């Protein structure tokens, strides 16, 4: 559907290795999962042309070209006259630049078949990157208008020209997010299809879980006072452990090394997800108690707490996203259990 194929004997030789275990769904209505051949890289027999036109003419290829166009436009509008400042502006610019660079690499490798020479599972890589880019561009599409876009003209020398550029950048930032979301929708595993693990709901949720954990870490280091109690330090250990293992699962899938673990990869992932649900459940109980119970913390935001530098705000963000990740891990476990161990579905 998206990327394809090697053409030529040399490109086929580059791809001649196994990229992962064969994972299949448990029911007729569930998507099958295979670690090597994915929706992001369908292997074809050698003998075609050196350039793969479908990489830019297929629906996924068109979405990727739009990503490059909208990403370049957004970046240029902000840098030229829109302007940015502070941590928020730097994050938005870094997110757009990172996504543009990786999208350009993906399109170039797909179009020239060079992805066959890379030592990674291309289908897993493209699916993971599309999900990550969706989250990054969605965050930037919210942050930039929130902090920099106003209907009133800023004072000179910026003036109304800067306002117009910021409004245009906000529009193109939203379009950029939609193109990445469209790629995720187009490449996501469908019932009955053979797909990369990262293209399944479980694989996509791994990216979201890691992203949410990064938000939690950002709030923790922003004057959250998590070191006051051993209980809150336990919560930090939970966030860190689950984040590291989740990143390891994604990395093993992308690198195509899931077959050398000595145990079925899908079973290990389900066991880990179950443990992560229990760990996050403990953090979801402990963190609010030791931050918002009157015995240990403040149930309401202190009136004298400075705006933007309030520990209570950081603690609230951690609590909210702890529950978000608990729901994500629970959904991941339910989906994984459904496609792996419930044969009646």
Write out pLDDT tens, residues 226-250.
Answer: 888 899 999 999 999 999 999 999 9
48 upstream amide cis, omega within 30 of 0: no
Under the banding of pLDDT at 50, 70 and 90, the label for residue 204 is very high
Instruction: Give the tens place of pLDDT for each residue, 83-141.
Output: 788 888 899 999 999 999 999 999 999 888 887 788 888 889 999 999 999 999 999 99
Q: Is the pLDDT of residue 15 over 60?
A: no
Mean pLDDT of 288-299: 84
> What pTM, to 2 d.p., does this model score?
0.81
CA–CA separation, 299 vs 141, rounded Å?
32
Angle at 332 between CA 138 and CA 263, to 5 degrees: 125
CA–CA separation, 339 vs 25, rounded Å?
5
- Range of weakest confidence among 20-29, 86-95, 152-161: 20-29
CA–CA separation, 95 vs 77, rounded Å?
15
Structure tokens at 254: 């992308």
Token pair 């890379």 in the structure block, residue = 118
Neighbouring-strand partners of residue 42: 4
Q: Are 317 and 215 in contact (CB under 8 A)?
A: yes
- Range of weakest confidence among 17-31, 76-90, 193-207, 254-268: 17-31
Coil, helix or strand at residue 26? coil
Res 116: pLDDT: 77
Would you tell me how many other CB atoms lie within 10 Å of the CB of residue 302? 10
For the chain, the farthest-separated pair of C-alpha atoms sits apart, in whole angstroms, at 73
Angle at 320 between CA 317 and CA 321, to 5 degrees: 85
Q: Among the residues of the chain, which ranges form H helices? A: 9-14, 54-57, 59-77, 86-112, 122-148, 159-187, 201-221, 230-255, 265-292, 311-340
- Range of weakest confidence among 99-108, 300-309, 332-341: 332-341
Structure tokens at 108: 């170039």
Q: Is the pLDDT of residue 314 over 70?
A: yes
Q: Which of 125, 132, 99 is nearest to 3 (CA)?
A: 125
- Range of weakest confidence among 5-9, 137-141, 214-218, 274-278: 5-9
Q: Are 39 and 187 in contact (CB under 8 A)?
A: yes
Strands of 194-195's sheet in order across: 22-23, 32-34, 194-195
């Amino acid at each position: 559907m998206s990327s394809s194929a090697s053409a030529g004997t040399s490109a086929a030789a580059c791809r001649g290795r196994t990229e992962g275990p064969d994972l299949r769904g448990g029911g007729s209505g569930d998507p099958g999962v295979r670690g090597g051949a994915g929706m992001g890289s369908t292997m074809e027999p050698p003998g075609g042309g050196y350039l793969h036109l479908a990489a830019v003419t297929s629906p996924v290829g068109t979405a990727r070209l739009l990503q490059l166009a909208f990403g370049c436009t957004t970046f240029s509008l902000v840098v030229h006259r829109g302007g940015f400042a502070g941590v928020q502006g730097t994050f938005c610019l870094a997110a757009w630049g990172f996504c543009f660079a990786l999208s350009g690499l993906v399109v170039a490798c797909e179009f020239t078949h060079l992805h066959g020479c890379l030592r990674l599972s291309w289908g897993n890589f493209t699916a993971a990157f599309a999900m990550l880019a969706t989250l990054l561009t969605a965050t930037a599409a919210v942050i930039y208008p929130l902090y920099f876009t106003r209907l009133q003209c800023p004072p000179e020398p910026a003036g109304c020209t800067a306002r117009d550029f910021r409004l245009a950048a906000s529009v193109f930032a939203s379009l950029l997010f939609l193109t990445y979301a469209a790629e995720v929708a187009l490449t996501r595993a469908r019932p009955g299809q053979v797909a990369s693990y990262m293209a399944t709901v479980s694989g996509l949720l791994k990216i979201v879980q890691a992203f949410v954990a990064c938000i939690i870490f950002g709030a923790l280091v922003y004057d959250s006072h998590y070191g006051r109690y051993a209980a809150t330090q336990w919560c930090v250990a939970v966030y860190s452990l689950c984040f590291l293992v989740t990143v390891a699962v994604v990395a093993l899938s992308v690198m195509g090394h899931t077959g050398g673990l000595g145990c079925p990869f899908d079973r290990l992932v389900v066991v880990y997800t179950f443990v992560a649900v229990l760990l996050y459940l403990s953090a979801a109980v402990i963190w609010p108690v030791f931050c918002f119970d009157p015995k240990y913390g403040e149930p309401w935001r202190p009136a004298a707490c400075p705006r933007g530098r309030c520990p209570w705000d950081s603690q609230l963000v951690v609590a909210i996203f702890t529950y978000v990740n608990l729901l994500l891990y629970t959904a991941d476990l339910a989906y994984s259990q459904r496609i792996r161990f419930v044969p009646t579905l």
